[in-house]
């Protein structure tokens, strides 16, 4: 079975490469797992979410990430996009997500929170964890999607 993984340099220039990669592999991913071919709206949701996560990593991680790893997996009936980076952790993530979800008029956000709001609205579930080993910490975001939604 093919593994659906790709690594990207955390720059805005790599964002278009990541979007193209995900748009290309999603139909193949669905075929491999015997799922109904995703419609354009579903593909656009996942691609937009990847863009927002990567842009946030590039714009806000200090110290900056050196690499962004992506992995598309199937967990039960959920399509999951796992995104990992080695930049600074997202402090107060749960609070920021709750705040972004509480804002119903997205254009009134001050430039921060729009991406998190969009991601939260488009995913079935969103999980964020920080893993730490002896030398480094890694941020991992798992975006789950229900293809029938």
The CATH number for 18's domain is 3.30.565.10
What's the pTM? 0.89
Domain around 81: 4-145
Q: Tens place of pLDDT for every residue, the chain, 149 residues?
A: 789 999 999 998 899 999 999 999 999 999 999 999 888 999 999 999 999 999 999 988 888 999 999 999 999 989 999 999 999 998 888 888 887 777 655 555 556 667 888 898 899 999 999 988 877 889 999 999 987 76
Q: What is the DSSP letter of 65?
A: P
Judging by DSSP bridges, how do beta strands 4-8 and 125-132 pair with one another? Answer: unpaired
Looking at the 3D structure of the chain, how many domains does it have?
1
Residue 75 neighbours by CB under 8 Å, 6+ apart: 144
């Amino acid at each position: 079975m093919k593994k659906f993984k790709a690594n990207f340099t955390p720059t805005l220039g790599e964002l278009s490469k990541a979007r193209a990669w995900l748009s290309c592999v999603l139909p193949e991913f669905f075929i491999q797992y015997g799922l109904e071919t995703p419609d354009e709206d579903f593909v656009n949701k996942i691609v937009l979410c990847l863009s927002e996560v990567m842009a946030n990593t590039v714009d806000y991680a200090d110290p900056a990430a050196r690499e962004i790893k992506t992995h598309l997996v199937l967990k039960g009936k959920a399509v999951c996009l796992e995104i990992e980076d080695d930049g600074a952790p997202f402090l107060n993530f749960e609070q920021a997500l709750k705040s972004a979800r509480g804002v119903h008029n997205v254009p009134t956000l001050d430039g921060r929170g729009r991406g998190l709001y969009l991601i939260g609205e488009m995913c079935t579930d969103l999980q964020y964890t920080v893993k730490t080993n002896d030398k480094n910490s890694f941020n991992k975001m798992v975006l789950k999607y229900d293809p029938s939604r």
